[in-house]
C-alpha cells in the first residue's frame, strides 16, 4: 500500500512543483466558457439551458489536453521501465497513475466550475447538479484517458492520437453526464441519468487498470 | 554498506534464446547460465543485442523462442520484484531532489528508507542531496541512477553500460558496487564496452554477442 501511495504522492508533488500546467488547463477550461457566449449570442435563457452540456464538453476537452503528460515523461526518462520491477503489479501502477491524473486534472476543473457557471448564467441548483455529475463522471473519463495514453505511449508523435481514440469511447459518459447535470423540467430524468453515469463510471474505472497495464506491456514489444 | 547480509540465491539458465526486433533477428539460439555470486559481462559491438538481451532477461521484451529460467524463487513471486534494471535512461525525475528520487524508489520497491542517506554518501552525492536532479551533471545523474540499486536490496542486477558518463573514480565505484553485490551472493549481468575495474576475476564471466562470436 505504501508503494501505491508513493507513486500517487510523487505525481502530485511533481505537479505542484510545476503548477503552470494545471493553471493552463484551468484557463483553457474557463476560456471555453468565455468563448461560447460569443458564438451563440448573449441569450441568458439559452445559455443557462446549454450550460451543463458546455461544462461537460469543456471538461472533456481539458482532460484530453492533459493526456500527453500522463505516461510520456515516465517513458522518456526510463521510469516506466523501472516501474515494471516495482514491488506492486503494473495494474496497481496503472491505478495509481489514474488516481493521480484524476486528482491533478478533474479536481482542479471542478474547483474552476463555479467560475464557468457565472459566465453561463447558471443558478446554484444547476451548478450543484453539474458538480455532482462531474464528480461522478470524471473518474470514468480519466480511466478512458489513461487507457488512451497508455496505448499511445510508445508512438513518437502520439500526442493527438490518444484524444482521437478516446473521444468516441467517452460519448456515453458525456451523454449521461450532461443529462445528469440538466435541471428544470429534465431534473427527474437527470436523477436516473446520474445513477447510470455512476454505474458506467465505476465499471470503467474498475476494469481500466487491467487494460492500461496490458497496453503498457505491449508498448515495449 | 560493507558486511551486508546475504541476498536470496538466484540461478539463471538461458536456453536457445532468440530475439527479434522489428522483424530482424538480433540474436539466435543463445544459451548461457549464471550463478549467484558471479558477474556476467555482455560484450559485443554496437547492435549486437546486449540491451535486447537485458530487456529479455528483465521480462520487458518477449523472446521469439527459447526459455529464461530463474530458479531459487517461490513460484508465486513475480520475477520482476527481485531484480533491478538500470538502462540508459536514469529513471529519475528532474523536478525532484536527489533524496526525493531515492525516497520514491525505496518506497515503491519496498526498500528501506533508512538506506537513502548511506546510498547518497556511497555515490558521493551527499552534498547534492537537496539539489533538484535536473541540475546534476550527466555523471552525477548516472551515480544517482545506480544509487537506486542500494535503497532496495535485490539479488539480481541487470546493468546496461553502468559506467557511461562516469569518470575514472566513478568506474572504480561501480566496480566496488558490483563486487559488493556478488560478495553478498547476488547475481550481476552487465552490458559494457569498457573493461570494468573488477578485481575478483574468478567470479567474472564474459559472454560475447554479435557476429563472429
The number of residues in chain B equals 213
Give the mean model confidence (pLDDT) for residues B108-119.
90
Q: Residue B2 falls within a domain, yes or no? A: no
B1 band by pLDDT with thresholds 50, 70 and 90? very low
Most confident of B10-24, B37-51, B90-104: B90-104
> Exposure of A93 by Cβ count < 10 A (0-12 exposed, 13-18 middle, 19+ buried)?
buried
**For range A5-20, the mean pLDDT:** 94
Asked whether the predicted pLDDT for residue A185 surpasses 80, the reply is no
Edge-to-edge strand ranges of the sheet holding B204-208: B83-86, B156-160, B187-191, B38-43, B204-208
pLDDT of residue B108: 92
**Domain of A131?**
2-219
Q: What is the pLDDT of residue B92?
A: 94
- Are B114 and A102 in contact by the 8 Å Cβ rule? The answer is no
Considering CB atoms only, which of B83, B89, B92 is closest to A85? B83
On whether residue B112 sits in a domain, the answer given is yes
Mean pLDDT of chain A: 90
Query: Considering the domain boundaries, does residue B101 fall inside one?
Result: yes
Domain count, chain B: 1
Are A161 and A90 in contact by the 8 Å Cβ rule? The answer is: no
Q: What is the mean pLDDT of residues A123-132?
A: 90
CATH code for the domain in which residue B122 is found? 3.40.50.300
Cβ contact, residue pair B90, A78, below 8 Å: yes
Hey, how many other C-beta atoms are within 10 angstroms of the C-beta on A59? Answer: 27
Smallest CA–CA distance, residue B78 to chain A, in Å, is 9
Residue B71 forms beta bridges with which residues?
B11
How far does the CA of residue B57 sit from the closest CA of chain A (Å)? 12
Q: What is the pLDDT of residues B174-184, one digit of tens each?
A: 999 999 998 89
The stretch A214-220 carries a mean pLDDT of 90
In-domain check, residue B94: yes
Q: Domain count of chain A? A: 1
Which chain B residues have a beta carbon less than 8 Å from that of A18?
A: 95
Q: How many angstroms away from the CA of A6 is the closest CA of chain B?
A: 6
- B62 interaction partners in chain A (CB closer than 8 Å): 221
Neighbours of A41 (CB within 10 A): 8
- A82–B85: do the CB atoms touch at under 8 Å? yes
How confident is the model over A207-212, as a mean pLDDT? 96
Instruction: Give chain A positions within 8 Å (CB) of B61.
Output: 220-221
Mean pLDDT for B41-64 is 89
Residue B27 in contact with residue B61, Cβ under 8 Å? no
pLDDT digits (tens, 9 = 90+) for B78-94: 667 889 999 999 999 99
Nearest to A77 among B59, B93, B148 (CB): B93
- State the smallest CA–CA distance between residue A78 and chain B in angstroms: 4
> What was the ipTM of the complex prediction?
0.88
Share of chain A above pLDDT 90, in %: 63
Contacts of A25 (CB under 8 A, 6+ apart): A62, A65, A66, A105, A108, A109
β-sheet bridge partners, residue B85: B158
Share of chain A above pLDDT 70, in %: 97
CA dist B132 and A112 (Å) reads 31
Considering only CB atoms, which chain A residues are within 8 Å of B94?
A: 77
CA distance B156 to B188: 6
Would you call B95 and A14 a contact, using CB atoms and an 8 Å cutoff? yes
Instruction: Give contacts of A7 with chain B, Cβ < 8 Å.
Output: 104, 108
Q: Is residue B75 part of a domain?
A: yes
- Rg of chain B over all Cα atoms, to the nearest angstrom: 17
- Please give the residue range of the domain that contains residue B117: 11-208
Per-residue model confidence (pLDDT) at position B2: 45
Amino acid at each position: 500500500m505504501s508503494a501505491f501511495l508513493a507513486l500517487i504522492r510523487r505525481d502530485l508533488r511533481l505537479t505542484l512543483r510545476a503548477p503552470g500546467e494545471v493553471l493552463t488547463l484551468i484557463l483553457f477550461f474557463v476560456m471555453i466558457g468565455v468563448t461560447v457566449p460569443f458564438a451563440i449570442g448573449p441569450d441568458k435563457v439559452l445559455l443557462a439551458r446549454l450550460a451543463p452540456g458546455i461544462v461537460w464538453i469543456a471538461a472533456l476537452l481539458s482532460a484530453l489536453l492533459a493526456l500527453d503528460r500522463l505516461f510520456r515523461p515516465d517513458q522518456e526518462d526510463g521510469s516506466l521501465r523501472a516501474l515494471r520491477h516495482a514491488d506492486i503489479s503494473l495494474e496497481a501502477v496503472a491505478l495509481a497513475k489514474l488516481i493521480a491524473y484524476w486528482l491533478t486534472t478533474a479536481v482542479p476543473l471542478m474547483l474552476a466550475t463555479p467560475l464557468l457557471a457565472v459566465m453561463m448564467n447558471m443558478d446554484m441548483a444547476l451548478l450543484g447538479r453539474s458538480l455532482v455529475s462531474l464528480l461522478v463522471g470524471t473518474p470514468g473519463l480519466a480511466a478512458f484517458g489513461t487507457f488512451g495514453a497508455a496505448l499511445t505511449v510508445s508512438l513518437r508523435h502520439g500526442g493527438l492520437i490518444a484524444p482521437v481514440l478516446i473521444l468516441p469511447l467517452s460519448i456515453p459518459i458525456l451523454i449521461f453526464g450532461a443529462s445528469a447535470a440538466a435541471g428544470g423540467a429534465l431534473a427527474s430524468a437527470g436523477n436516473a441519468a446520474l445513477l447510470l453515469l455512476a454505474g458506467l463510471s465505476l465499471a470503467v474505472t474498475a476494469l481500466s487498470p487491467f487494460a492500461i497495464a496490458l497496453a503498457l506491456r505491449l508498448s515495449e514489444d | 554498506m560493507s558486511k551486508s547480509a546475504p541476498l536470496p540465491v538466484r540461478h539463471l539458465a538461458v536456453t536457445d534464446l532468440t530475439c527479434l526486433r522489428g522483424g530482424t533477428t538480433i540474436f539466435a539460439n543463445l544459451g548461457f547460465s549464471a550463478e549467484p555470486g558471479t558477474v556476467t559481462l555482455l560484450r559485443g559491438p554496437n547492435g549486437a543485442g546486449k540491451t535486447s538481451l537485458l530487456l529479455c532477461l528483465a521480462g520487458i521484451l518477449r523472446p521469439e523462442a527459447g526459455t529464461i529460467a530463474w530458479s531459487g524463487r517461490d513460484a508465486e513471486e513475480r520475477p520482476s520484484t527481485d531484480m533491478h534494471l538500470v538502462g540508459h535512461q536514469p529513471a529519475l525525475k528532474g523536478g525532484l531532489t536527489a533524496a526525493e528520487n531515492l525516497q520514491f524508489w525505496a518506497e515503491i520497491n519496498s526498500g528501506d528508507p533508512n538506506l537513502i542517506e548511506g546510498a547518497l554518501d556511497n555515490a558521493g552525492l551527499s552534498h547534492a542531496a537537496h539539489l533538484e536532479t535536473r541540475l546534476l551533471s550527466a555523471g552525477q545523474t548516472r551515480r544517482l541512477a545506480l544509487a537506486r540499486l542500494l535503497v532496495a536490496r535485490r539479488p539480481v542486477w541487470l546493468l546496461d553500460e553502468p559506467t557511461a558518463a562516469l569518470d575514472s573514480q566513478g568506474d572504480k565505484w561501480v566496480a566496488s558496487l558490483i563486487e559488493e553485490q556478488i560478495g553478498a551472493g547476488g547475481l550481476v549481468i552487465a552490458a559494457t564496452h569498457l573493461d570494468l575495474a573488477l578485481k575478483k576475476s574468478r567470479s567474472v564471466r564474459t559472454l560475447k554477442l554479435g557476429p563472429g562470436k
